[in-house]
Amino acid sequence: MSDHTKLKAFHLADELTLEVYRVTSRFPDDERFGLTSQIRRAAVSMTSNIVEGCARLSERDYLRFLDMAFGSAREVDYQLSLAHRLNYITQLDYDSLRQSALETSKVLGGLIRSLRPR
């Protein structure tokens, strides 16, 4: 369908995923199979669904994967909030990550709206 590397949504999601990995590497060891794993999976899922959607041949499939990516972006936003409230993320890191998550969601939402039939 399209080249994912040309999408702003992909680059934002990819950068957010990298930052999620950096920040979660400092989470407590007992969260390795809990929140650390969950937030990383959601971030990777977000980016992977954009890539997979771009590889689909129909616009309907493309939109379905973008919808899943959007859902994962919102999931990451919640999980960041939870990690912050558990004091796993500093206020500075949380503000930066949250801004990235919201911008990624906004761009993905715009892309979805632009492609969805009226």
12-27 pLDDT per residue, tens: 999 999 999 999 999 9
52-100 pLDDT per residue, tens: 999 998 999 999 999 999 999 999 999 999 999 999 999 999 999 999 9
Q: Quick one: pLDDT band at residue 116, thresholds 50, 70, 90?
A: confident
pLDDT of residue 1: 64
Token pair for 94? 């949380």
pLDDT of residue 117: 78
**118: pLDDT strictly greater than 80:** no
Q: What is the pTM of this model?
A: 0.93
The upper half-sphere exposure of residue 88, i.e. CA atoms within 13 Å in the direction of its Cβ, equals 23
**3: pLDDT strictly greater than 80:** yes
10 Å Cβ neighbour count for 106? 13
Rounded to an integer, the average pLDDT of 109-116 is 94
pLDDT of residue 107: 97
For residue 93, the domain's CATH number is 1.20.1440.60
Say how many domains are in the chain.
1
Mean pLDDT over the full length of the chain: 95
**103: pLDDT strictly greater than 70:** yes
Residue 117, helix vs strand vs coil: coil
Q: Which residues contact 23 (CB under 8 A, 6 or more apart)?
A: 89, 93, 97
The parent domain of residue 67 ranges over 4-115
